[in-house]
Chain A
Amino acid sequence: MTMNLAVLIKQVPDSDEVKMDPEKGTMIREGVSSIINPLDLNALEAAVGISKAFGGRVTVLTMGPSQAEEALREAIALGADRAILLSDRAFAGADSWATSLVLAETLRKTGPYDIVLAGEKATDGETGQVGPEVAALMGYNLATYVSFLDAGPRGVSVKCTVEEGTLYQWIPLPCLLTVLNDLNEPSLPTLAGKKKARRAEILKLGLAELGLTRENVGLLGSPTRVVRIETPKITRQTEFFSARDLERGIDRVIDILKEAAVI
């Protein structure tokens, strides 16, 4: 058999470069480069590995603005065979539910798929919801926090990292797996891959092509609404000790430890 694989990816700001405007509480976007969400690279690496072992095709898809095409080309350089960009004005402002709807509809229209992979969460939103929501909308079997996998023709054996330890599960196909970075070491793009990426045709789909209605996608289709954004302000009465005062500072720490009955 051959495997039809899909990887859900997201373009995120290179996290260490995020700078905030302290007055406005908004993100300063100038000069901030974008990368593929790191855990999505682990998902892609696994998909490429499975397709090499079984034969098959890896499709990467992302919903985002037209710049997200860069992320898709990078994914092709890393071994993906086909890339789909889901871009439409109407998709803007989507929460995780409205995002998942578009991704699920795309999987339905371009599939069927045997295994869909995604990073456990994205470094920007950190909700970790899109993977499980897409799985539910597709009726796929879901596994999350996957740190090891062994794919077979009927299903995937996975190890999931949970609070208590490691959970061993068998997930029949079709399935969606969200992965952690222990899964593998993502490879670097090859020269041949980069060439292929430059020439690759990116399939672009919008509202009309997916047959969705405006009311179901983007901000309009999102069950959640942002009420307000605030910059957290936390201050305490600080007792400050330096240089010659340090001995007194250590006294204070000892007092606190005694009050808490630690010593």
Chain B
Amino acid sequence: MRKEDRNFQGILVFGETRSNKIHSVTYELTGKARNLADVKGCEVSVLLLAESLRDDPSDLFRFGADKVLVVQDPSLSIFNQGIAVNVLKAIIEAENPEILLAPATTIGRTVLPSVAAMLQTGLTADCTGLEIDPDSGLLLQTRPAIGGNVMATIKTPVHRPQMATVRPKTFRIPAPRNRTGTLIYPTLPKETFSSPIQSIHLQRAEGDGGNIQDRDCVVSGGKGLRRPEGFRLIKELAELIDAGVGASRPTVEAKWISYPHQVGLSGKVVAPKIYLAAGISGAVQHLAGMQTAQKIIAINKDPEAPIFRIADVALCGDLYDILPRLIERIRVERCERNG
């Protein structure tokens, strides 16, 4: 659709729910949408799809939503792309948002391009920055391009809605404020909830150690570990400080550790309080997954390693010397505190 076709207004967030609970990325995007809406002077709506929501949707008002639309149906118990596309399309056609934001999760990355193609509009994947252009009021969408070596800023000048996906943990959840809004349970025609696609079953995987994106600390190992057993040392430190275990891509490719641990452009984005990287050189593609950590500690034997340029604390030396010393010190600190 083109901007002259209808009166497009406001920002719509395609929220994510998992097992009938609101996923944290929904709060991250609601907060970001609020910032953008304040610049534009427009409203933020959040759409939630669930079988039967267990969280309180009105909680989203405190994080910036003016309106929350909850679509509930038994068919939404397991994700079905056919149905999700029908619902989102119906809501867009009713709401006519000028901007549509969605998480760059497997759901968002399936539903958004489908809807973008149907509506004939642009979509920018995996944005790391979103801003409103003060002159044109357009959404400026920044994303890594050419293998993460550069940042490209993209706009959608005439097609609507302007659509973007954002990876979880890219934006911080804002502090809650005392504000309210409107909660709506839209009724959609019955056919919206049918699709030729059948979602049969979701087999939940209990990943080792849970999702590293939800951890306060992440300890990561790279090629500098030189052998798969090196990750034992990384895990030992991680357990001691209750951290998640991260990894660089070559260690995942070498099968020293599984893919859910990969941090970076083609892995996960993490934004922990503390990120400790051992034996990781700091290629741009790795930095893309961890540079927003509050504190970065890097261990590398090469004084010129690029990781040191973004580290708060750089420990230059052999990780097989430094990590055991660090582990020992933490143990001692613990004992002193407890004893």
Contact = CB atoms under 8 A, between A and B. Distances in A.
Interface residues of A, number: 76
Contacts of B314: 238-241, 249
A43 B159 CA distance: 32
A148 to B, nearest CB: 12
A229 B205 contact: no
Q: Which of A97, A223, A240, A241 has the most CB of B within 10 A?
A: A223
Contact of A141 (B122, B158, B197, B322): B197
Contact of A249 (B147, B241, B276, B313): B313
B233 interface: no
Interface stretch (B7-15, B50-58, B65-73, B324-332): B324-332
A143 B84 CA distance: 13
Contact of B330 (A15, A171, A234, A257): A257
Contact of A246 (B105, B124, B296, B315): B315
Interface stretch (A45-53, A73-81, A85-93, A125-133): A125-133
A215 to B, nearest CB: 12
A237 to B, nearest CB: 7
B317 interface: yes
B202 interface: yes
Contacts of B43: none
Contacts of A254: 329-330, 333
A163 B241 contact: no
B151 A170 contact: no
B155 interface: yes
B82 interface: yes
Contacts of A224: 122-124, 154-156
B160 to A, nearest CB: 9
A113 interface: no
Interface string A224-263: 1111111110111111111100100110111011101011
Contacts of A229: 145, 150-153
Interface in A8-23: 13, 15, 18, 20
B106 A162 contact: yes
Interface stretch (B27-35, B113-121, B175-183): B113-121
Given A97-B117, A162-B79, A246-B315, A145 B106 contact: yes
A135 B114 contact: yes
A34 B274 CA distance: 38
A256 B265 contact: no
A260 B203 contact: no
A232 B151 contact: yes
B92 interface: no
Given A97-B116, A141-B197, A225-B154, A165 B204 contact: yes
A234 B291 contact: yes
A134 B113 CA distance: 9
Given A250-B326, A253-B297, A126 B126 contact: yes
Given A142-B110, A168-B202, A170-B197, A238 B311 contact: yes
Chain B: interface size category = 35 or more
Contacts, number: 249
Interface in A134-181: 134-137, 141-145, 160-172
Nearest to B250: A16
A206 to B, nearest CB: 22
Contacts of A253: 276, 297, 313, 315, 326
A96 B313 contact: no
A129 B126 CA distance: 11
A238 B147 contact: no
A152 B84 CA distance: 25
Interface in B191-224: 196-205, 211, 216-217
B293 to A, nearest CB: 10
A169 B310 contact: no
Given A236-B311, A242-B303, A231 B203 contact: no
B109 A144 contact: yes
A18 B147 contact: yes
B38 interface: no
A18 B211 CA distance: 31
Nearest to A223: B122
Interface string A81-123: 0000000000000011100100000000000000000000001
A250 B331 CA distance: 13
B242 interface: yes
25 contacts: A18-B149, A126-B144, A132-B113, A133-B114, A137-B117, A145-B110, A160-B106, A162-B106, A167-B201, A168-B203, A169-B200, A223-B120, A224-B154, A224-B155, A230-B151, A232-B284, A236-B310, A238-B309, A242-B316, A250-B326, A256-B295, A257-B241, A260-B273, A260-B294, A262-B243
Interface of B: 18-19, 78-82, 85, 105-107, 109-110, 113-118, 120-126, 140, 144-147, 149-159, 196-205, 211, 216-217, 241-243, 265-266, 273-274, 276, 284, 287, 291, 294-297, 303, 308-317, 322, 325-326, 329-330, 333-334, 337
Given A162-B202, A232-B151, 4 more contacts: A128-B125, A223-B158, A240-B303, A242-B303
The 7 closest A-B pairs by CB, nearest first: A223-B122, A224-B122, A136-B117, A242-B316, A165-B205, A132-B113, A223-B159
